[in-house]
Structure 1
Amino acid sequence: MKKSISSLALIFFIMSSGLSAQDLKIGYTNVEYILSFLPETKQVQSEVSAYGTQLQNQLQSKITDFQSKADAFQKTAATMTDLIRADKQEELQNLQASIQKFQNEAQTSIAQKEQDLFKPLFEKISNAINVVSERENFTHVFSAGVPGVDVLLYAQPTDDISNLVLGELGIDPPAQSNN
């Protein structure tokens, strides 16, 4: 019942907005597919990877420092006064908390770095999609090919404008590509 009401509402909306089925031209594109052909993608991936490695090395250094202090504490704890032992335990707990905080912040930082570096590429792709859509008279273009984000459940392969977008970006699409 709800489905038929929704369908009727959609039909009414299309009719009332002056669009008929003949005026609609719907296409779709796979942004991830297009991104895989951009030369800049490898550079961005390399920068993100290098940044991640840098943070991983810093984390490993913190872990090594913690481990050596924990080992030293284990060896000398029996000879320490209660006050010094408590102080060293607190220092180790603080180091452990610092490592956990750094790990969380590093993950967030890597994700932000990736987002910042990919943003210009997505803008470039978006602009090319707009140019192709206007040139080819598409009224709607959907995104396809992103697991969990796909809004397109079915479409004819002839409605895929991904290779047209690659052409707009100056990239020769592969022959016989079904992305």
Structure 2
Amino acid sequence: MTKKIVAIALVISTAALAFHTAHAAEQSIKYLNVDYVLANAPGIETVKSELESYHATMQDEFDSRRDELAVAMRKFQEIATLLSEADREERVLKLQQQQRDLEEFSRTLQPELDKKRVALLEPFYQRIQVATEAVAKRNNYDYVLKPRAGDSTTILFAKPEHDISELVLEELAKAN
């Protein structure tokens, strides 16, 4: 009886393995290097330029505010002894508020740059998704994976001939 159960289990396991192997051979799995596609996508230079310009504008605003505070502090130090106690306290409070405003502006710089980057890149990611779907459907791919550090999909090895990044870039170029 035990031999029959072992034999049946062996037959079922072999059949399942054969089915799985045959099914896996029919599937087409490719990968896409999204960072590469994004870096080479038509029109990305405009976005890079816009981001650099926005960053420069924000940096100029910060520098201007910092310089205004430095000038106000120098002026205060020059005339502090000539001011009444009430005027001195009022100016100190204004300088402290100006310092807090500058610190707050400094804290918001990176989040604002990040928000701008996301807003400018989102259309590119959408176009890449559409182009990827078009390439996958045209070439009858079952799966397209996105290898990237930190994502749930990780590829430890992939043959370069399975990278469809160039095909997606061609599809993006057609859309322009």
**So what's the TM-score if we normalise by structure 1?**
0.77
State the 1:55 CA deviation: 1.5
Instruction: Provide the rounded CA distance (Å) in 1 between the counterparts of 2:54 and 2:32.
Output: 31
Considering only aligned residues, what root-mean-square deviation do their CA atoms show, in Å? 2.3
Task: Spell out structure 1 runs of 4+ moving beyond 3 A.
Answer: 146-150
2:27: which partner in 1?
24
Q: Which runs of 5+ in 1 are unaligned?
A: 1-11, 172-179
Q: Does 1:170 align with 2:173?
A: yes
Give the secondary structure class of the aligned counterpart of 1:27.
strand
Counting only pairs closer than 5 Å after superposition, residues 55-70 of structure 1 correspond to structure 2 as: 55-70=58-73
Q: CA deviation at 1:107?
A: 2.2
Output aligned runs, 1:115-130, within 5 Å.
115-130=118-133
User: What is residue 99 of structure 2 aligned with on the other side?
Assistant: 96
Unpaired stretches in structure 2, ≥5 consecutive residues = 1-15
The code of the aligned residue for 1:21 comes to A
Q: 1:136 aligns with which of 134, 139, 146?
A: 139
* Partner of residue 107, structure 1: 110
Q: Identical aligned pairs, as a percentage? A: 28
Matching residue's letter, 1:44: V
SS at match of 1:170: helix
Tell me which of 53, 76, 79 is aligned to 2:79: 76
- Separation in structure 1 between the aligned mates of residue 47 and residue 32 of structure 2, nearest angstrom: 22
1:13-39 C-alpha deviation (Å, 9 max, x unpaired): xx89xx931232211111111122223
| 1:43 matches 2:46 | yes
Whether the 8 Å CA contact 2:31–2:144 is kept in 1: the answer is yes
Q: TM-score, with normalisation over the residues of structure 2?
A: 0.78
CA distance in 2, matches of 1:92, 1:20: 73
The equivalent of 1:160 in structure 2 is: 163
Deviates more, 1:44-53 or 1:75-84: 75-84
Report the 3-state secondary structure (helix = DSSP H, G, I; strand = E; otherwise coil) of the residue aligned with 2:30: strand
